[in-house]
Structure 1
Amino acid sequence: MAEQEQNHYDVLDLQTGKAEFVLAACEDFEPEKISRLRIATKYPKLASQYFHDQGEDVELIKLEGSVELGPITGLADAIIDITQTGRTLVENHLQIFDRVGPVATHFLVRKGSLLQYQDELTTVIKRLANLVAPKEEVKE
């Protein structure tokens, strides 16, 4: 959702779908020897923010599908992508060079819906919160 226009409220982390965004490349990746990195990703906003925070100017290449092919084909020096187990990275001879941030499933509500269905959504959110949070944390 970080790539989308923010027309929603993030109301609850559902504690499922745990994964992470990573910077990955071939094992011989040496970023300090490259004047301007080329990074393939499905998530250009997130990648741009990550490299901005690192103080690095990179060229972002938006790819769909198998982003892992970017470094293998020479199209990119590295990728920023989501991984859960790391198996796909290993299968494509890539390794993680940095952990960019966590990913999880969240319950989102469109802003207009929250106004229109406030009572119903409040009930659903409280029930979900009771299912995903430790019992002592959730209060009615």
Structure 2
Amino acid sequence: MIARRTNASGEVAPLRIAVPKGALFADCVSMLRAADVEVGALADPGRQLVIRTPGYEFIIGKPTDIPVYVASGAADVGIAGKDVLVESDLDVVELLDLGFGECRFVVAEPEDAHASIEELYRHLGVIRVATKYPRVTEAHFAARGIQIEVVKLNGNIEIAPLIGIAEQVVDITQTGTTLSENKLRIVEDVMDSSARFIANPAALRTDTERVTGLAQRLSAASLQ
């Protein structure tokens, strides 16, 4: 059996779990509770960002920061969307698809603009694509042999074609409603995304029993 991580006093340190704020948070708490994790004040954290319960320490952060916490060792394990993991490209181990927070990356463009975009590409050899996810976007179009100029935005991606700064967008959607309301149509699927349970590689090696045990309990909870 591999020894558990200990603190400076030689006591077994709590397992540190990074949990994302926002849309995934409530499902994360429910899933952890179903996996017999004592969530305590995590259920209603208020402004607290670090919460301790017997055997656990929860670190609450922005979804895009969760892989950073886990890769750096600030957290032993965490829950993050597949979209965030692919875009961050950090050294974490993906242990489990938790089956919630499902959405998909898509390519979308203005309705009735496909022919003009194809003509523009034939003329210039490049099209502009707006996205919050440049790594995912570049990889997708590179695999198809299409030259693009990425327009990196942090806000509403749908506005880019409407104000003339991009011909297409790559964004995440669940239903496509926001895209259609902005007169955009989906032309390609890029990849699916959902919440994943991830681990720091060193934590997985040195605290195998607790990390894999939690993964097994989460797997069982996800099937309920």
TM-score, structure 1 as length reference: 0.90
What is the match of residue 120 of structure 1? 210
Listed one character per residue, the Cα deviations across residues 41-61 of structure 1 (whole Å, up to 9, x for unaligned) are 111111111101111011111
Matched, 1:11 2:95: yes
What is the match of residue 168 of structure 2? 78
Letter in 2 for 1:121: V
Matched, 1:94 2:184: yes
Listed one character per residue, the Cα deviations across residues 20-54 of structure 1 (whole Å, up to 9, x for unaligned) are 10001110222311122100011111111110111
CA radius of gyration, larger in = 2
For structure 1, list consecutive stretches of 5 or more residues without a partner in the other structure. Answer: 135-140
What is the match of residue 32 of structure 1? 118
CA RMSD of aligned residues (A): 1.3
What is the match of residue 138 of structure 1? none
Of 30-39 and 50-59, the range deviating more from structure 2:
30-39
Greater share of helix residues, 1 or 2? Answer: 2
Give structure 1 regions of 4+ aligned residues with deviation exceeding 3 angstroms: none
Using the TM superposition, give the Cα deviation of residue 18 of structure 1 relative to its aligned residue in structure 2, in angstroms. Answer: 1.1
Q: Percent identical across equivalent pairs? A: 34
Equivalent position SS for 2:146: coil
- Partner Cα separation in structure 1 for residue 167 and residue 188 of structure 2: 14
Using the TM superposition, give the Cα deviation of residue 116 of structure 1 relative to its aligned residue in structure 2, in angstroms. Answer: 3.2
Where relative contact order (Cα < 8 A, 6+ residues apart) is larger, the structure is: 1
- Partner Cα separation in structure 1 for residue 109 and residue 161 of structure 2: 6
- Partner Cα separation in structure 2 for residue 92 and residue 124 of structure 1: 42
Using the TM superposition, give the Cα deviation of residue 114 of structure 1 relative to its aligned residue in structure 2, in angstroms. Answer: 1.5
Q: How many residues align?
A: 134
For structure 2, list consecutive stretches of 5 or more residues without a partner in the other structure. Answer: 1-84
